[in-house]
Amino acid sequence: YYDQNTILYLNGQYLKATEASTDLYGQSLHYGYAVFEGIRAYKTAKGEVKIFKAKEHFDRFKRSCELIHIPYPFNNDELIEACYEVLRRNNMEEAYIRPLAFCPPNMTLKAASETEVLICAWEWGAYLGEKLLRVATSSYQRPNPKAFKIESKSAGLYVNSILASQEAKEKGYDEALLLDMNGYVAEGPGANVFFEKDGKIFTPPPGNILPGITRATVIELCKELNIPIEEKLFTIEELRTADSVFYCGTAAEVVGWDSLDGQGFAKPWADSLGKYLQKAYKARVLEQEFTEKYQPKSAAVV
């Protein structure tokens, strides 16, 4: 993620990653009481470096802090500018950007009164790889919204994600799928889920999931491309009968599923609405025109 020359932003200063330091008595380190974002910068079709949906990510960064009472004394325009400066100082064009809001030394369980902010960046290929994913239903549920502010992208919440993805990998799968506390399909450890059935796209509604910015972009694209889209709760049994399924997230982008618990889907990924949306998403982040028409092929013909 970094080497001798990497520069990061810490509390208003640009420092060498190897020289920056933090306090080992920090509340964030001990209790997972911190908030982060995951953002991507792309080199657009015109050759400019652009951070995709920077405002939306920093709006969520602020909301995530507020939801768990981490003070937010930052100006988002300044933080966005700091992201661009980190990219410039590291000569990066396409990169993953990681802002982190964390709290100073404090061993109590009282809400923080001060916040520090880090922004670092690294070059990161497709987070879940380029291949279709073999997904396993997790034995772990997503955290109960009555036990946590699940819409806050809080560090501590990611222990749940680590447990679920580790379990899936130990069983020989690529990634996990987690259900919510009521047994409905929720999301992946680091991505939102969508499926296609009879020419329509479905995804779980907000409530028990992280409101993903890629999810919002995919919904926007469906509307623009006249693909019917519905947010609804659904079960794992319904998902097994999908024509195609995909995950989406900033790090993962749009990535198709090969199978769920070893069972494949009706449509080949190449013919799916997910594949079409994957191309539309890529065009959107690169600011390329997207004129391709979807050529539906009936699942029955396959």
To the query of whether residue 16 is one of the catalytic residues in this protein, the response is no
Shortest distance (Å) from residue 192 CB to ligand PMP:
5
Between 38 and 256, whose beta carbon lies closer to ligand PMP?
A: 38
Is residue 221 near ligand PMP by the rule CB under 6 A? no
Length of the chain: 302
Closest CA to 257 of 246, 249, 265, 248: 246
Helix locations, the chain, DSSP H: 27-31, 54-67, 76-89, 158-170, 213-224, 236-240, 273-285
Is residue 274 near ligand PMP by the rule CB under 6 A? no
Going by C-beta distance under 8 Å and a sequence separation of 6 or more, which residues neighbour residue 204? 180, 184, 185, 186, 187, 192, 193, 231, 232, 233, 234
Shortest distance (Å) from residue 246 CB to ligand PMP:
12
Between 202 and 271, whose beta carbon lies closer to ligand PMP?
A: 202
Is residue 215 near ligand PMP by the rule CB under 6 A? yes
Between 251 and 283, whose beta carbon lies closer to ligand PMP?
A: 251
Is residue 204 near ligand PMP by the rule CB under 6 A? no
Half-sphere exposure in the Cβ direction for 34 (13 Å, CA): 24
Is residue 213 near ligand PMP by the rule CB under 6 A? yes
**Given candidates 90, 214, 272, 278, which one binds ligand PMP under the rule CB under 6 A?**
214
Partner residues linked to 230 by β-bridges? 202
Is residue 210 near ligand PMP by the rule CB under 6 A? yes
Going by C-beta distance under 8 Å and a sequence separation of 6 or more, which residues neighbour residue 153? 35, 36, 37, 60, 61, 64, 210
Structure tokens at 280: 């539309």
Is residue 187 near ligand PMP by the rule CB under 6 A? yes
Structure tokens at 161: 């994600």
Shortest distance (Å) from residue 5 CB to ligand PMP:
28
Shortest distance (Å) from residue 34 CB to ligand PMP:
14
Report the first-to-last Cα separation within the chain, whole angstroms: 43
Shortest distance (Å) from residue 130 CB to ligand PMP:
18
User: How far lies 93's CA from each of 17, 48, 124, 259, in Å?
Assistant: 19, 8, 11, 34
Q: Which stretch binds ligand PMP (CB under 6 A): 82-90, 126-134, 209-217, 231-239?
A: 209-217
b or e along 11-25 (b: 16 or more beta carbons within 10 Å of the residue's beta carbon)? eeeeeebeebeeeee
Here's the x/- map for ligand PMP, 1-40, by CB under 6 A: it reads as -------------------------------------x--
Q: Which stretch binds ligand PMP (CB under 6 A): 85-93, 166-174, 207-215, 234-242?
A: 207-215
Footprint of ligand PMP on 156-175 (CB under 6 A): 161
Is residue 208 near ligand PMP by the rule CB under 6 A? no
b or e along 50-66 (b: 16 or more beta carbons within 10 Å of the residue's beta carbon)? bbbbbeebbebbbbbbe
Name the 3-class secondary structure at 100. Answer: strand
Site residues (vs ligand PMP, CB under 6 A): 38, 161, 187, 190-192, 210, 212-215, 249-250
Residues marked active site are found at 153
